[in-house]
Amino acid sequence: MSFRPEILWSDALLFLLLAAVLGFVLHVRRHEHLRAPWLRVAQSRMGVVTAVILACYAVIGVLDSLHFRPALPVEAGAPVQYGNEVLSVLDVLAEPLRMRVEKTYSEPFALHLYAKENLSLPDGGQMRAYPRLKYGGAHLAGTAERAGDIAWRAAAGALWGAGLAFGFWLLAALSRVWQARGFLPATTQLLRAPEAAAWRTALMTLSLLLVLGGVLGRLSIDYHILGTDKVGQDVLYLSLKSIRTGLLIGTLTTLIMLPFALFLGVAAGYYGGRVDDVIQFVYTTLNSIPGVLLIAAAVLVAQVYVETHPELFDTSAARSDLRLVFLCGILGVTSWTGLARLLRAETLKLRELEYIQAARAFGVANLRILSRHILPNVGHLVLITVVIDFSGLVLAEAVLSYVGVGVDPTMASWGNMINGARLELAREPMVWWQLAAAFLFMFILVLSANLFADSVRDAFDPRAGARA
Amino acid sequence: MLAYIVRRILYAIPILIGVNLLTFALFFVVNTPDDMARIHLGAKHVTPEAIERWKTEHGYDKPLFFNRAEQGLGKVSDTLFVDKSLKLFAFSFGQADDGRDIAREIGIRMWPSLAIALPTFLVGLMAYISFALVMVLFRATYLDFAGVVLCVVLMSISGLFYIIGGQYLLGKLWHWVPVSGYELGWAGIKFLLLPVLVGVVSGLGDSSRFYRTLFLEEIHKDYVRTARAKGLSERAVLFRHVLGNAMIPILTGAVVVIPRLFLGSLILESFFGIPGLGSYTIDAIQAQDFAIVRAMVFLGSVLYILGLLLTDISYTAVDPRVRLE
């Protein structure tokens, strides 16, 4: 075997989360009343479009979470040694992006470096000039050819993406063949039937994304389409790597805080009295500490712990990964209070309703009432809060990394990209591409998440829908 | 009313004790003062003597809870817990790692913070309410729709982008205002304009959309229908009846943050070079100065609890239905 799979802590948690989501989906599919609101989400065009975009981000994030350590080249017969470098499937797929490291900054689509250097001329003399990039546009003779070359390659990439998109349409049609009795009826159904509207929207979005991805992918093989950073790494590659960090912060935090919020919020509302007092005390205390400061304090403490116990971490990836998980944990601690308060209020209301009173009169045990009658009826609140919180957490990562209490500085994240680029803004001409890339990737994710959250809220909370 | 306030203040004490214990646990039990000394001394200079010296210099050379070396009450009182944690209640914050008195620094630095935070808060509140009212006035038209779309887009942009974009556009490209800096007195206003503008814009999406929802919730209530049935104009209904009633949740929601305005904004102050409490805290975090972080955590909690108290009192002021007892 030429590699060894490596499961980092965050990977394990992410797989756990994926399993939970899968279980939830299967559960929803089996129950008509749970399926109904999701069908309403599918009816809103915005919901479908944003779901497809979010799914694309998720796929990249999951690909980047399948980690392994490649084997080092050894002589035949010797035991296999594994390197200290932890790679992911995404790294392998984006090999051309990862390996083509320039010397320092270069603009998007540039052929030359950003900084002047002393070049030795063939006749032995020296001159100060912008040296050519080692990889970016290396196949061109000069800047004059660039525009034509880009157009030509973009067209080829678009065609490639369109072909792939066509494949997806074909696949969607084929999946209906059995149901529609024949390929032609299946195609008409897919293209015309009102029930298939959601599929058409999804496939249209996917097609657009694939064409765009084809263009960008084709161009990024020969150019640095978003430029390179200070140490010459491709900014597109960094932005793609940052997706995993952003997604993990947004989702793992929820995974960690959800049990607390659910259990404590519902218990406080249902039992009341002493239990309520204690839980309220705990969350008022946590709430009263300014969020950033609590996070800062906890991360500082964790940092000291990591620095004084270097023996616990065998790779730098494991170290930065643990910091990420810890950050998610502490974000979870600071963010469960909002949901808990919401759940407490809702449970207080539900507790007095007739069907709960009836269940109690029949002598149903408290735990059973909680799990069968209360939990399912606060589910929509949990879902809406989780989806709305996601975008806030992604944005918070950038701010925290700027303050210096975010993810590990060696980890690819939008916050770190912004932080690194901020110091270069004063340079002339400005180094803007790294900032722009980080903000753009973050903006698309957060905007999609916000719009998706809106359609989820409209579908699950009809009252809010009527208002908005 | 007075009895209520006294009771609320009494109720705040256990919460502050909770905060105190939590920060003490974080800063002293999880991380011993030895760890702190090691970090500050750096990898090269760590010897047991150096650690002891650092601890003595910074007053960390005591046991956590129980001092065997002392007599009588000193066994309990001459400890780190009393010295570093309980003394926070008397607002005696001790010294920062550079030897300066933290309480004095806070007293000086809260004014620049306030100079940014207060205008941001007031201008922001007015801007958000006005924008929300315009959307509600044109509700269910394309103008309203465009407003909501704008809000969602604004919400999705990182706060850092507003700062960097504002500094670049207004400061560097157009030279309207200085990029960063601070100056006392009226001459300093030019330094405040950009941070306040950025602060207001970065909250616009979130708050306006929230206020719009509040207004729309009111607009479907019975008293609004009655007012319309009386023949009042749409504008009179909106500005007198709806605005008045929706102001209750808006004001009470805003009151909570007023005391915390003193703490300033970490990000704004550090980007714009304003010597306020926000940049003080951020510098402390980056220099790993635990004494300052601890003081700010405690101060933040006190101000938050004060905010909660003010919220309850403001309910009675704006909503005659609420009586505190």
Residue A437, chain B, CB below 8 Å: the answer is no
According to DSSP H, which parts of chain B are helical? 2-24, 33-41, 48-57, 74-77, 80, 102-137, 142-155, 159-166, 189-219, 222-229, 234-236, 243-255, 266-272, 277-286, 290-318
**CA geometry: angle B293, B294, B299, nearest 5 deg:** 95
Contact B267/A388 with Cβ under 8 angstroms?
A: no
Q: Which residue in chain A has the smallest CA separation from B33?
A: A304
Beta bridge partners of A69: A4
Among the partner residues A308, A391, A430, nearest to B35 by beta-carbon distance: A308
CB contact under 8 A, B293 and A293: yes
Residue A120, chain B, CB below 8 Å: the answer is no
Tell me the CA distances in angstroms from B188 to A96, B277, B278, one per residue in order: 52, 18, 18
Residue A422, chain B, CB below 8 Å: the answer is yes
ipTM: 0.85
Per-residue pLDDT tens for B126-185? Answer: 999 999 999 998 888 999 999 999 999 999 998 889 998 888 888 888 888 887 888 877
Dist CA A73 CA A80 (whole Å): 8
pLDDT (tens, 9 = 90+) of chain A, 468 residues, equals 578 888 888 889 999 999 999 999 999 889 888 888 888 888 888 999 999 999 999 999 999 998 888 887 777 777 777 777 788 888 888 888 888 888 888 888 888 888 777 777 777 777 777 888 888 777 877 777 888 888 989 999 999 999 999 999 999 988 888 888 888 888 888 888 888 888 899 999 999 999 999 999 888 888 888 888 888 888 999 999 999 999 999 999 988 889 889 999 999 999 988 999 999 999 888 888 888 888 887 887 777 777 777 777 767 778 888 888 889 988 998 888 889 999 999 999 888 889 989 998 998 998 899 888 888 888 888 888 888 889 999 999 988 888 878 888 888 899 899 888 877 777 777 788 888 999 999 999 999 999 999 888 888 876 654 444
DSSP state letter for A371:
I
Residue A300, chain B, CB below 8 Å: the answer is yes
CA distance B305 to chain A (A): 7
Dist CA B120 CA A359 (whole Å): 52
CA distance A363 to chain B (A): 37
- Residue B39's nearest CA partner among A301, A325, A297, A296 is A301
Dist CA B255 CA B309 (whole Å): 9
Tokens of residue B248, six digits: 């209750």
Angle between helices B243-255 and B189-219 (to 10 degrees): 130
CA distance A364 to chain B (A): 36
Q: How far is CA B224 from the centre of its chain?
A: 36
Per-residue pLDDT tens for B262-321? Answer: 888 888 888 888 898 989 988 888 887 878 888 888 888 999 989 988 888 888 877 777
SS3 B69: coil
CB contact under 8 A, A418 and B160: yes
According to DSSP H, which parts of A71-110 are helical? 89-93, 95-99
Tell me the CA distances in angstroms from A445 to A164, A432, B324, one per residue in order: 23, 20, 45
Residue A56, chain B, CB below 8 Å: the answer is no
Dist CA A63 CA B56 (whole Å): 52
Give the CA count within 13 Å in the CB-facing half-sphere of B247: 13
According to DSSP H, which parts of A229-315 are helical? 235-271, 273-288, 291-308
Tell me the CA distances in angstroms from B60 to A3, A134, B41, B43, B100, one per residue in order: 49, 55, 14, 20, 16
Residue A287, chain B, CB below 8 Å: the answer is yes
CB contact under 8 A, A304 and B35: yes
- Residue B167's nearest CA partner among B176, B156, B154 is B176
Among the partner residues A284, A285, A439, nearest to B161 by beta-carbon distance: A439
Q: Which of A57, A292, A443 to mutate to test the interface with B (most CBs of B within 10 A)?
A: A292
Other C-beta atoms within 10 Å of B261: how many? Answer: 19
DSSP state letter for B242:
I
Q: How far apart are the first and last CA of chain A?
A: 57
Dist CA B82 CA B279 (whole Å): 28
In this predicted structure, the answer to whether residue B88 has a pLDDT above a threshold of 80 is: no
A443 to chain B: which residues are within 8 Å by CB?
156-158, 161
Residue A203 pLDDT: 93
Among the partner residues B19, B31, B293, nearest to A288 by beta-carbon distance: B19
Residue type, A256: I
Beta bridge partners of A4: A69
Contact A132/A171 with Cβ under 8 angstroms?
A: no
Q: What is the CATH number of domain A242-457?
A: 1.10.3720.10
CA distance B322 to chain A (A): 19
- Give pTM, 2 decimals: 0.89
Long-range contacts of A76-81 (CB under 8 A, 24+ apart): A80/A1
SS3 A4: strand
B31 to chain A: which residues are within 8 Å by CB?
301, 304-305
